[in-house]
Every structure is written in C-alpha cells, then in structure tokens.
Amino acid sequence: MTVISHARLCVPVCVRRAGELRGAIARAAADGDLIELRLDCLEDDAQLERATLAELPALFHERARPFILTFRTSEQGGHRTTDVARRVRFWAENFSPGRERADYADLELELVEFIAAEEIRRAAKLIDWDKVICSHHDFDGLPRDLEAIFARMIETPARILKIAARARDITDCLPVLGLLEPARLPPGRGAIVVAMGEAGLLTRILAPARGAFVTYGALTREQSTAPGQVNARELRDLYRVHHINEQTQIMGLVGSPVSHSVSPHIHNAAFAARGLDAVYIPFETGDARAFLRHMAHPRTRELVWNLRGLSVTAPHKSAVMPELDSIEPAAREIGAVNTIVVEGDALGGYNTDARAALAPLAGLLKLGGARVAVVGAGGAARAVLWSLREACARSTVFARDTERARATAETFDAPCHALDGARFDRFDLVINTTPLGTRGERETRTPAEAFQLRGARAAYDLVYNPRETRFMREARAAGCEIILGGLSMLVAQAAAQFKLWTGKDAPLEAMTTAAENQLSEIRD
C-alpha cells in the first residue's frame, strides 16, 4: 500500500502595507497548508504598528490556515535592520505565552540563544518554545560550519530547527538533506531544510517526504521571498508534493540551465495520466559527472532515494558517458547520451533524440535521397546526422567553426562547410540543431536568414521554446513550403524515455497538451 507523505506547503505573504495583508492571506490560503506572515516586509514602523495592533488580532481569529509569524533582520534575508532589544520587545508583545498572534514564530538562531539566556537570567518564561522555529539563513553558499550551526540549534529549546543555505551546485543538497536523518534530531524535535537557488530545487520538492516540517512555495514567482523559491501551485500541482513518499520513483533533467525546460510539465503529466507514483525534477548542475557519482550511481551515491532515470541536456550529453556502465550502440556512435536508466546497481545510457528527431517529418518529406543541410555540430547535430544516415539522406554540415565541426561531419560521411555566407537553395531540408533562437538571451538570433533559406523546400528548427523561432519566421519569409518547430521532437523523445524508465507506452496526448499549455503560459 502506498504511504502518502504528510507534506505541508507554506506560502509566505510579503506585502508593503498592512491593509494588503488580508487579500494576500486569502490568496495564500488557496494554495498552501500554512501561511508565513513576513512582517519585516512592511515598509515602515507605522505599517508594522497597524499590522500588529489592528490587523493581526482579527486575522489570527479568522485564520483558515495556521500562521507562522516572521520578523527577520536584513542580515538573515529580511527587510529590516533592528537591534536585539527591539526584536526581543517585538516578540514579547506578539508571541509571549498567552499573547501569541500566530501558531508558530520564526526566530533567528542568535535571537533564540539570546532570549533563552535571558530566561535563565530572569528565571521567567519569555516565549513558548514549542511553537518556535529556530532559523539560520546563508545566502552566499553552503556554510563550512553547517554541522556546528545545527549543533547550536539542537542546544536551544526551540522545537523546530530550520537551515536554509544557498546551493552553488546540486551536490550541495547532500549535507542539507542529511540534516533530516532521524538520528540527527532528538525526540520531539522537527526540522526544515532548504537548499536555496536553482540547484537546490530538489530539496523543496523532496524534503517533506523525508520528514521536513514544511516546504515553502511563493504566491507567484515574482513574489518569491528566497532564491529558487518556486510557485506554490507548481509544488502542489506540477510536482504533487503532497503525494511524494519514500517509494515514489524519481526521474529528472540533468543540465545547465534547466529552469526554462518544459520537460517537467511533459513527464509529470505523463506520470499522472498513467497513475504512476513518480515525479520528474529539474537537476541544475555544472558538473554532471560529480552528480552521477555522488547522487545517482547506485554503487557510489550518498543519497538514499528511489532514483529511476534521468534526462540529460546541454552541456552534459557527452560528459556523462564515462560514468555509465553500458551505452547502447547508437548512442555510443552518436557520441551523446540524453537518457540514463538505473538498471539494478548500474547506469545504462541511451539516445532517444536520434529516432525522435525525424519523426515530425513522417508523411511530409521523403528522406531517402533527400539533400539535407544540418546547421550545427553538437550533440543534437550528431543525433540528427545518425538518423539521416539511417534514412539514406544526403547530409551536409554547416557550422561557424568548421575545424571543430569537420570531425563530426566525417563520422557520418558528410561534407562540412562554413555557415557564414552559406546559401541553402540546393537543399530539400534545412535543420537547425543549434540553440540559437531559444527563449532568453538567444531568442532574437537565427543561424540563417531569409535570403539564405530562399529556395529550400523545408525548414526544421529543433528549438521548441518559443513555439515560433526567428529561424522559422525567416523560413516563412523565404517561401519554404514546410516549416516545423521542435515541440513534436521533444514529445517524441520524451515518450521514448518514458518507455525506457517505466516499461509502459507513453500517453502522447497528455504529454503534448502539457507542453503546449506550458509554452502558451510562458508566451502570455
């Protein structure tokens, strides 16, 4: 029987004016299980006084969700600089026994130690420690004295201990998640752990299933209160944090960057459509080999988790190969792996890009004998060239750096020419395998303009985000009969990955719909 995790999703409310609290709380309550009231976000003392004297008593009385009250200093990621005496007075007025204005209070470690010492000195109880979250934030990186900081927290009377540290690479998540090990906490204590930043996303998704007291999700991405804090609705609906447990199968995307990818939407929709207890997570890393050694390979990983498989994207498709125990012949010849499967105590590598690359052309263009210009010479180009050779097409590689591209072209018996000044009027099909045109810094760029594409019958861009790239617009202006984007290929290769990981046929309609919806949301 599947055990549902007791995940709790906390949504921070950070507004400038006290009068905005009620509306923001109502929106947060729609997505979260708890609400954090970040009173340090209020713009001045007048707004703080109005909030504590006029708003909080009524809001606390009417609350539909438990409240966490936070008044953080700027040194710990807050918006105020206040001395210790004032902070002690604030908590005495708003969270002393019998005067609690919330269900929990988040206090910085140094303040917790100060108040605990004051209680001893005065022989008086100043705060209800059973409701205190003792926190420490490091926005620069993983502190070298992480263990010492956590040991100090354990020595305090606070019931819940919170560590939030910036992850510079995904492997920084290991010591952070390690703090949740049952043996680390005395009986009756709880913990919250967060690796902030894009590289720490997996802690926000998986920590609740490992016993974390809460995980945090923003009202919107624009209202994030910490680096890498994703939308609460994404945590709830996309990653389904309330349903993740110790048995949940975990898949993910290894690359840098990965935040732009729609693959989590495609794969998580597929898992939901097939009723599988599985989740797909972006894994941001600059060192994929270290990630595989320390977190993925069954024989060497330092994390106990039910990892089942990985997608691999730029720039790691070739870099991961030395860490794999087996590689299918096609992927080895292509020189790139985009799919990894955990097979017992080993890792197997596959390339689902190759066969998926030409699937969108079926019924539109006969490839046997077709003259095809392949723009680019990276991992995606190698997969395309392999497939074109299998289809008996006549390929030519065009690249800016012909010296580097020539080895790729020769591998697949294709000539190589300079891209600068190239004309494609003698080709039946032009395929862009470069990242030029991808949403972001490269969105306005194209590997070929209309005057170069004029005379080519078809143009195919492997870039899928945005749905229509500049390359596609140039092809339309050039009068190309067939113009395709990369979404169909993306779904096709993802469907092949799904089959490798689960042994089941992929729900193509659900995957395509999820991709289209996400791309429409990004565009809007």
**Residue 4 pLDDT level (bands cut at 50, 70, 90):** very low
pLDDT for 415-471, tens place per residue? 999 999 999 999 999 999 999 999 888 999 999 999 999 999 999 999 998 999 999
Sheet containing 249-255: order of strands: 278-284, 249-255, 307-312, 339-343, 346-350, 326-327
- Lowest mean pLDDT segment, chosen from 63-67, 79-83, 387-391: 79-83
pLDDT at 2 (0 to 100): 39
Catalytic residue among 131, 162, 317, 366: 317
Indicate the domain borders of the chain.
9-244, 252-351+500-523, 364-485
Mean pLDDT for 32-52 is 92
E-assigned strand segments in 326-446:
326-327, 339-343, 346-350, 371-375, 394-399, 416-418, 429-432
Average pLDDT over residues 475-495: 96
| pLDDT score, position 259 | 83
Q: Tokens 């995904």, residue?
A: 170
Per-residue pLDDT tens digits for 160-198: 999 999 999 999 999 999 999 988 899 999 999 999 999
* pLDDT, tens digit (0-9, with 9 covering 90-100), for 196-243: 999 999 999 999 999 999 999 999 877 888 888 899 999 999 999 999
Residue 77 pLDDT: 66
Q: In terms of pLDDT, which residue wins out, 81 or 323?
A: 323
**What are φ and ψ of residue 342, in 5° steps?**
-80, 115
Per-residue model confidence (pLDDT) at position 299: 97
Instruction: Provide the pLDDT for residue 1.
Output: 30
pLDDT classification of 80: cutoffs 50, 70, 90: low
Question: pLDDT band for position 25 (50/70/90)?
Answer: very high
Helix (H) or strand (E) holding 492: helix 487-502
pLDDT over threshold 80, residue 99: no
Domains 9-244 and 252-351+500-523 alike in fold: no
* Positions of E strands within 344-484: 346-350, 371-375, 394-399, 416-418, 429-432, 458-461, 482-484
Amino acid at the residue 381: A
**Residue whose structure tokens are 């910085």:** 108
Binning pLDDT at 50, 70 and 90, where does residue 331 land?
A: very high
The reported pTM is 0.91
Give the per-residue pLDDT at 6: 73
Residue 79: predicted pLDDT: 65
Q: Is 80 exceeded by the pLDDT of residue 120?
A: yes
Average pLDDT over residues 79-106: 81
CB count in 10 Å sphere of residue 147: 13
Per-residue pLDDT at 294 exceeds 70: yes
Instruction: Please give the CATH number for the structural domain made up of 9-244.
Output: 3.20.20.70
317 catalytic residue (yes or no): yes
pLDDT at 3: 40
Q: Using the predicted structure, report yes or no on whether residue 345 has a pLDDT greater than 50.
A: yes
Class in CATH terms, 252-351+500-523 = alpha beta
Contact 244, 216 (CB under 8 A): no
pLDDT over 60 at 357, yes or no: yes
- Is residue 130 within 8 A of residue 158, CB to CB? The reply is no
Residue 90's pLDDT band, with cuts at 50, 70 and 90, is confident
Mean pLDDT for the stretch of residues 350-363: 93
The confidence band for 78, taking pLDDT boundaries of 50, 70 and 90, is: low
Nearest in space to 220 (alpha carbons), one of 198, 235, 203, 202? 235
Tell the CATH superfamily of the 364-485 domain: NAD(P)-binding Rossmann-like Domain (3.40.50.720)
Query: 111 or 223: which carries more pLDDT confidence?
Result: 111
Work out the pLDDT band at 45, boundaries 50, 70, 90: confident
Please enumerate in sequence order all residues whose Cβ is within 8 A of that of 181, keeping only pairs 6 or more positions apart, or say none: none
Contacts of 421 (CB under 8 A, 6+ apart): none
